[in-house]
Structure 1
Amino acid sequence: MDRVRLPAGRRRRAAALTALGTVVALVATACGGGPPPDPKAKDLDALYQEARAEGSVIWFAPKPESQMRPAIDAFQKKYPGIKVKYTNKKAPDLVTQLNVEQAANRVSFDVSNAGGLTVLPSLDMAAKVDWSDFKVPSDQVFDSNFVYVWAVPKVWAYNTKVVPRKDVPSSWDDVLDSRWKSGRLTIESRGSFMTVWAQDSALGTGAGLDYAARLATLNPHYTENTTQAHANIVSGQTPVGTDLINLVLDDQSKGAPIAVAPVGPTNANKSYLFVPKGSPHPAAGRLLTAFLASAEGQAALVDTYNSVIPSNTDCTDAATNKVIGALCQAGVKWYSETDVKQYEKFSAFFPKVEDALGTDVD
């Protein structure tokens, strides 16, 4: 299989087109007036009354609606009179759209998502919220205004019909075996699967760049994102590759021939929700975010593989949390982000990874 090189320039042009389209839409529909004032509520009961007066909440996140549906239904049952309008939108597109909409003083949604490389550019877009007023656990609040609601662990996965058990990679070094050369590996070109090399001091960024360069010599099949890599593994087109455990478990439950390879350690990327400055329904946005962070909201999310997990390897809840259970069963250790400085480190590391992989070309 030919090596696919995905130029960074192409991704930048796509982002620019997205922004341009949003600007055109805003200009066409702008009708004046500023955003509604921030809620005055200081507890959940008062917040609910303000949110019910708003009547709806618009939520954008990079997840299929089917995975969010149990949580949406649970929220609407607990808080009748507030309709959730959900849109599945990729995180980079969210950043682009929100940046343009805030500049135009016409934000179109109330709850946004940030994770990985979209954390830093999203920080200044978030409204200031004292989440303790709404009973959000302090260990789920990040940088004051973000709320940790689920993790997206990055894993290596394999097709169980194509790869014999004896050949399944069990370490990062095993992935470099020559049996996986010439397109039998599929990896996402942005290099986010390498995050743990910038987290774990036993690995390190220098060693990570050397690893990425050696990985590139296998001529893997590069994809623009992990969802595409996942589809290649499920089909058997490229039997081993980078993946997200949430996607693996979801397709496993539907009978797909895919499993987590015991390659570790890995990054359990935290995903945050926040209410954008200038959102049209700020009370409802706060209420939905607080609900998703609560025990009740987490219970609605856990069966679709989207719940909070510990920041570092901890198998205590392996029996009740399928994401933790799958990681622990495969023997994969994980690390999550804990502060802004780590995201700053990642933003400097990933472009170098792309250079080493040969995917950052104009």
Structure 2
Amino acid sequence: MTVLATGAALTGCGARVESADLPSSMNALVKQAAKEGEVEWSVPKPQQQMQPAIDLFEKKYPGVKVKYSNTKAPDQVSQLRMEQAAGKVSVDVAAAGGLTVVPSEDMADDIDWSAYGIGRKNLFARKLVYIWAVPKVWAYNTEKVKPADVPKSWDDLLDPKWSGGKVSAESRASFLTPWALDSSMGQAKALAWAKKFAEQRPHYAPNTTQTEAPIESGEVSLGTSLINLVLEAKKHGSPVEVAPLSPTNANESYLYVPKGAPHPAAAALLTSFLSSDAAQKALAKTYNSRIPVGTDCSDPGETPVLQAICEAHLKWYPTATLDDYNRLTSFFPEGEKALGTNVV
């Protein structure tokens, strides 16, 4: 996408989507958002996880109604590409994470977030606003695995006692992200490890939700998961726990306003609100708030996700640059080959 000096963008089809004309103060933004009256928010999360923050926003800004949709991240990228090409965008606030960060950065409007109270530390590539993290973890069934047998390192997972379908893993290889981010591990070592892991005949599933479920049921002893899935399962009484297996990655998620958004002021207002302390406290209760992007357990506070990964003594890394995300884009297909999951 080529950005013109005027701030407009030309897509491959020649359609024109304009940058938003937003005011320079929060008071003026609130007034413009109230005139727009609504904001279309689309992220790959069940609405009940976002509802506490939505309720707070609509209470603070009663003139702006949130219309929410749960959209898979790759589907959202495809949708926005087509809509921006057609010059008719339907989404006001979109999400970016993992492999969707690079294409999302290209589609995001370049908003002066500092004017709306968002500091540089919570911005990625200027356009994307860091809102929550859901670290990737290894989890185990406490009824199937004795405390002394809980894996504490990646190499522990290669022990023959875990062979024959006792471990579930995401087939897309994204759980190998720490290897790509940690220079002491590296991609070559990752692929060598992945080939050995594949020889253990793990139980593969297409996503982390489907790797978590057999851990909870006891179909497998342990597997790859996301910290919020483990905490939610524990809350409902499932015999699952986070394994003290490091390193992992913060798995940051960002929100952004797509260029051409129909309600840009309301979108900027919602995004800035979700970055606020009040919204972060509400999101923390559903395990979706920010955490330090790199290992920092100095002040877990009242953030359940941070408390859990610190109690498990995990080390984690950020995906710090666009180059990091580009590296993951090329790494994951190689990881799938090593795992033997690159079957069309």
Q: Would you call these one fold, judging by a TM-score over 0.5?
A: yes
State the shift of 1:319 in Å.
Answer: 3.8
Post-superposition CA distance 1:215-252 (Å, at most 9, x none)? 11011111111111111211212221100001111221
**CA–CA distance in 2 between the matches of 1:261 and 1:70?**
29
CA contact (8 A) 1:36 1:282 kept: no
Q: Paired residue for 1:40? A: 22
Q: Paired residue for 1:103? A: 85
Gapped regions of structure 1 (runs ≥ 5): 1-32
Post-superposition CA distance 1:66-88 (Å, at most 9, x none)? 11111111111111111111111
CA contact (8 A) 1:39 1:50 kept: no
Does 2:57 match 1:75?
A: yes
CA contact (8 A) 1:176 1:215 kept: yes
Q: Paired residue for 2:283? A: 301
CA contact (8 A) 1:117 1:346 kept: yes
State the shift of 1:164 in Å.
Answer: 2.1
CA contact (8 A) 2:178 2:249 kept: yes
Does 2:116 match 1:134?
A: yes
Of all paired residues, the percent bearing the same amino acid is: 52
State the shift of 1:214 in Å.
Answer: 0.7
AA in 2 matched with 1:108: S
CA contact (8 A) 2:169 2:224 kept: yes
Q: Paired residue for 2:219? A: 237
**Number of equivalenced pairs:** 330
Q: Paired residue for 2:161? A: 179
State the shift of 1:143 in Å.
Answer: 0.8
Structure 2 counterpart of 1:61, from 40, 43, 52:
43
State the shift of 1:36 in Å.
Answer: 8.1
AA in 1 matched with 2:320: T
Which secondary structure does the structure 2 equivalent of 1:210 belong to?
Answer: helix
State the shift of 1:34 in Å.
Answer: 8.0
Which secondary structure does the structure 1 equivalent of 2:213 belong to?
Answer: helix
Q: Paired residue for 1:117? A: 99
**CA–CA distance in 2 between the matches of 1:155 and 1:44?**
38
Gapped regions of structure 2 (runs ≥ 5): 1-14
Q: Paired residue for 2:69? A: 87
Post-superposition CA distance 1:172-218 (Å, at most 9, x none)? 11111112111111111111111010111121111111111111101
Structure 2 counterpart of 1:161, from 143, 146, 149:
143
Moved over 4 A (4+): 33-37
Structure 1 counterpart of 2:305, from 316, 320, 323:
323
Q: Paired residue for 2:4? A: none
State the shift of 1:92 in Å.
Answer: 1.2
AA in 2 matched with 1:268: A
**CA–CA distance in 2 between the matches of 1:125 and 1:153?**
25
Q: Paired residue for 1:16? A: none
TM-score normalised by L of structure 1:
0.88
Which secondary structure does the structure 2 equivalent of 1:194 belong to?
Answer: helix
Q: Paired residue for 1:30? A: none
CA contact (8 A) 1:34 1:106 kept: no
- After superposing the two structures, state which structure 1 stretch, 146-155 or 336-345, moved more: 336-345
CA contact (8 A) 2:297 2:306 kept: yes
CA contact (8 A) 2:26 2:115 kept: yes
Q: Paired residue for 1:261? A: 243
AA in 1 matched with 2:342: D
Which secondary structure does the structure 2 equivalent of 1:242 belong to?
Answer: strand
**CA–CA distance in 2 between the matches of 1:136 and 1:40?**
15
Does 2:251 match 1:246?
A: no
Which secondary structure does the structure 2 equivalent of 1:341 belong to?
Answer: helix
Does 2:206 match 1:224?
A: yes
State the shift of 1:127 in Å.
Answer: 1.0
CA contact (8 A) 1:114 1:122 kept: yes
